[in-house]
Amino acid sequence: MLNMKKKVNSVNMALEILNCYDPEKMLLGITELSKKLGVSKSTVHRLVTTMEKQGYLEQDPDSRRYKLGLSILRLSEIIMKNYDIRIIASPIMQRLRDYTEESVHLNVVSYAQKARVCIAKQESHHDLRYVIELGQFLPLHLGASGKILLANLDEQHIISALENIPDNDKQKILSDLEKIRTQGYCISYGERIPGASSISCAIKNRSDKLIAGLTVSGPSNRLTKEKVEEYLEQVKNAAAEISKQAGYQS
């Protein structure tokens, strides 16, 4: 029992050593760690030596202090795969599709193509439904799916995306983008495809940066203005849930 308690204490201390590192402190010596943790240098040295053998710490040859090792990188790669936005979004998109009975899409910005591209979808079960192909490039300045992304880009990328748009149309689009940023969502009726309605909200990460856009789309004779008003809150909540799981903090 005593031996198990000592092992648990050692694990806790090793985790505390890892927690001492941050972007401002990427190299730490035994003495620094000892002072931070309030334990003896011999205890820190023993733990650091073990963590170095396991690849969680590496000794810098010049300063002789320690930095995080490649085993941390290996674990972070596993974490990032678990937090792939498509994996996070999939069950939430499915619930939203089942609730609205309309198609749900996840779109991201292709900066190289100055376009949006669909990376995940949950299609409606109706015979008549809104269909979009995965990987298909579509304009950013037309429709709710594109505009919700465009509205959340920085000024430089917005200007670049609109460089071939006539000035009169450009001013209208810029006005629309300002409204979208203010209200936090975008709704469109037949803007890109006649007879189609869409509701879109942005998904953001922990740095408040745009990751993707979430859209519910369907034929306007079914996704009427009344239905759009009914579903809007569901789309907002779904986008907020995905954002939260991606690290966003409001």
Please give the DSSP secondary-structure letter assigned to residue 215. E
Q: What is the SS3 assignment for 205?
A: coil
**In whole angstroms, what is the distance from residue 58 CA to residue 180 CA?**
48
Q: Which residues contact 185 (CB under 8 A, 6 or more apart)?
A: 148, 199, 200, 201, 232, 235, 236
Q: Mind listing the pLDDT tens digit for each residue in 15-47?
A: 999 999 988 889 999 999 999 999 999 999 999
What pLDDT does 2 receive? 46
Which of 133-141's residues contact partners 24+ apart within 8 Å by CB, and which partners? 137/110, 137/113, 138/192, 139/115, 139/192, 140/109, 140/114, 140/115, 140/116, 141/165, 141/173
Q: What is the SS3 assignment for 192?
A: coil
Q: Nearest Cα to 210, choosing from 222, 198, 200?
A: 200
Domains annotated on the chain, with CATH: 2-79 (1.10.10.10), 83-245 (3.30.450.40)
Q: Dihedrals φ, ψ of 160, to 5°?
A: -65, -40
Reported pTM: 0.68
CA atoms lying within 13 Å on the CB side of residue 105? 28
Q: Mind listing the pLDDT tens digit for each residue in 104-138?
A: 999 999 888 899 999 899 999 988 887 888 888 89
Task: Choose the weakest-confidence range: 71-80, 95-104, 196-205, 212-221.
Answer: 71-80
As a whole number of Å, the CA-based R_g of the chain is: 25
Q: Nearest Cα to 63, choosing from 7, 18, 25, 120?
A: 25
Supply 118's token pair.
């669909």
- Tallying the residues shown for the chain, one arrives at 250
